[in-house]
Amino acid sequence: MSFGGFGMEIGKALPLGSTVTGRGVNFSVFSRNATSVSILLFENPRSDSPYEEIRLNPKKHRTGDIWHCQILGLTAGVFYLYRVDGPYIPEKGFRFNYHKALIDPYTKALTDFSNWDFFSCMGYDPEEASRDLSFSYHDNLFTLPRCIVIDDDFDWQGDTPLNYPLRFSVLYETHVRGLTKNPNSGVQYPGTYRGVTEKIPYFKDLGITSLEFLPIQEFNEHENYKINPKNGTRLTNYWGYSTVAFFAPKNSYAVDNTPGAAVREFKEMVRELHKAGLEVILDIVFNHTAEGSEMGPTFSFRGLDNAIYYILDENPRYYKNFSGCGNTVNCNHPVVRSFILDCLRYWVIEMHVDGFRFDLGSILGRDQQGRLMENPPMLEMIAQEPALSQTKIIAEAWDAGGAYQVGWFPGGRWAEWNDRYRDDVRRYWRADPSKTRHLATRLSGSSDLYLRDGRKPFHSINFITSHDGFTLKDLVSYNDKHNGDNGEDNRDGNDDNNSYNYGSEGPTSDPDLESIRERQLKNFFTTMMVSLGTPMLLGGDEIGRTQRGNNNAYCQDNEISWYDWSLVEKNANVFRFAKEIIAFRLRHHGFMRPEFYTGRDGNYNAIPDISWYDDKGDAPKWDKLNYCLALRMDGSKADILADRDDNDFFIMFNAGLEPAVFRIADAPEGKTWVRAVDTGLPSPEDILSPGNEKPLKSPKTYTIAARSMAVLISKDIP
């Protein structure tokens, strides 16, 4: 068979997607209930109509539920879409629509999104949105991005994923565009993968080990139609939690706008980050897609096999909405499980990423009716997948449907974003009553959450702030959210932030107030770095980045979200402290021990691996503690389960409003305590470099200023 000068063969059912074979391109797509499938080929990204429409013969080009063919003579760079026909019976969950061109779920790249008319993909006339007119003859062909056939060849120069053990990692959550988009970023290619690469010296100076990127899988930033009421500008989908193509890196983050160049530039970024010893972790969104609710657009999964890809309501015309975004992916359907695993394998094997953070991860544990499962096959398969055995897998262990699984996320080796850590540490340093005992639990790796099912302290991802909420600077500058720029009358975003402004809302010129806020930033940094678990910083917190009190900046692709690099100099004291405390943690294996504390002596020196004290030096009465707490950690290799001894540590916390005099435990025999960190002291005395630690004025007591903490380490007596 031939057409347009090209030959056509039956082809192969696997792998799914478009594959360059050397003789042509093999196309393969899943649809169980379709009655016809056509491949549309385009001469260029802007072609209004295909130059060929190839209708597949189900008797020849179908194996089971997979439609396939090989078109001879085609090469990488070909543009294509699908048309799929079948029953349109919404009350039975079928929403096939031949008038809607469809994106291949396995496409590795898409063309430009800038002209994509969101409503052309809709299943209804927007002027009649109150009616369910999903079956529409409005063809979306003219504006829908085209899929691009990609050749996976790339010169990796010997690169492989770094796969650092979690306990030796310090994560840094950031956004590809926002990191360098500000004109003062000092890079040649702002807002791009190459811009990230240009910031490698900064990341090395800061000392983090791993970059955790907000979604980079292709999404439509233009889908948000809200207007900023303050200046009348159109808002965007800035964060990207609305995936269109799961295998495709974001096209607009590339410098080269040649179709498919984003794949190469993403790989270049990963390769260069790895050369610098920096991991790449992707925030990935399998819980829902950009097709939205029953009133949303049809451009991929819905038109291929709606009832298989999504969890439908008891009335299949509607969708279960455990994501809060209109639909829920049917993650535990066998076909969808295969899709998710294929996607993860691709990003690890072909794109060399080191890990994933799964947005609203609890949805991956729901069955096909939306019920939470005790042993979800999807989560177990991810944890047991051989190609991912060294890959970090991190769950956001909740969803918008009421699931909350922090501490009991199923599936084995999963790490979790620990929001209990976030909230307890925030409340302690805000000086909420009766929170000191909770601080002790979080410092100890949250054994209340992770010990019972055999997980380790490093499975707790310890964070104070993330993209979702206040920045650290805003956490200590605002009592309330200020989201008026989002076009929702300040209704969006969390109202319960456990924040405190210390007397004045927002920016201040009061030096005393600024001093308190700066001290609290240092307290948060230090608490994270001396806690068992895996610390994660929100990018920009180390330089005091602010979002002006906006705690839901999902739609702000502007100075609200972009990093202000002038703060590196303006807040040099904070930046220096952040660098030094990260380095302090990574020098001391005692804070990265692989097991929970036992309270027992592991090396027969009569000192337990951890001991707790109140400010008087007595064992704490946990239910009656004030805002003072101290701990002693034995650094002997037997107690920290390392191959060499560390220092011993004596750490004191005072969230109270008055200074506190702590009685210090005796230093180990032949050693003395010296001061390494004291957040109550001005820079550069607040943290001291190795070899420059200061001896104590008194060997028995130490005074901690209000809202401060200190870290003493043991050293040999000269």
Given a cut of 80, whether residue 607 has pLDDT beyond it is: yes
Residue of 275, 292, 343 lying closest to 17 (CA atoms): 343
Contacts of 171 (CB under 8 A, 6+ apart): 208, 209, 210, 211, 212, 281, 461, 534, 535, 536, 537
Backbone φ and ψ for 290, nearest 5 degrees, come out as -75, 0
Q: Which domains does the chain have, with CATH numbers?
A: 2-148 (2.60.40.10), 166-287+356-376+391-589 (3.20.20.80), 599-716 (2.60.40.1180)
**pLDDT for position 118:** 58
Given a cut of 90, whether residue 524 has pLDDT beyond it is: yes
Cα(545)–Cα(561) distance, integer angstroms: 9
According to DSSP, the residues that pair with 654 across neighbouring strands are: 628, 708
Residue of 22, 24, 16 lying closest to 71 (CA atoms): 24
Angle at which helix 334-349 crosses helix 377-384, to 10 degrees, equals 30
Residue 128 bears catalytic tag: no
Backbone φ and ψ for 60, nearest 5 degrees, come out as -110, -35
Among 223, 272, 294, 396, the one annotated catalytic: 396
Cα(165)–Cα(456) distance, integer angstroms: 12
Residue 359 bears catalytic tag: yes
DSSP 198-252: HTHHHHHHHT--EEEESP-EEE-TT----B-TTT-PBP---S--SEEEEEEE-GG
**pLDDT for position 396:** 98
Given a cut of 80, whether residue 1 has pLDDT beyond it is: no
What average pLDDT does this structure show over 638-661? 94
pLDDT digits over 27-67, tens only? 999 999 999 999 999 999 988 899 999 999 999 999 999 99
More confident position, 117 or 301: 301
Given a cut of 90, whether residue 605 has pLDDT beyond it is: no
**pLDDT for position 127:** 35
Given a cut of 70, whether residue 3 has pLDDT beyond it is: no
Q: Give the distance, in angstroms, between the CA of residue 564 and the centroid of all CA atoms in the same chain.
A: 21
Among 198, 218, 354, 359, the one annotated catalytic: 359
pLDDT digits over 474-486, tens only? 999 999 999 999 9
What average pLDDT does this structure show over 375-381? 97
**pLDDT for position 134:** 44
pLDDT digits over 101-138, tens only? 999 999 999 998 877 765 555 544 333 333 344 445 56
More confident position, 293 or 120: 293
78-92, 127-141, 280-294, 467-481: the lowest-pLDDT one: 127-141
Whether the CB-CB separation of 614 and 630 falls below 8 Å is answered with yes
Rounded mean pLDDT of the chain? Answer: 94
Total Cβ atoms within 10 A of residue 604: 8
Cα(717)–Cα(120) distance, integer angstroms: 76
Given a cut of 90, whether residue 463 has pLDDT beyond it is: yes
pLDDT digits over 228-278, tens only? 999 999 999 999 999 999 999 999 999 999 999 999 999 999 999 999 999
3-12, 125-134, 163-172: the lowest-pLDDT one: 125-134
Angle at which helix 334-349 crosses helix 301-309, to 10 degrees, equals 120
**pLDDT for position 129:** 38
DSSP 344-362: HHHHHHTT---EEEETTGG
**Predicted TM-score (pTM) above 0.85:** yes
**pLDDT for position 601:** 85
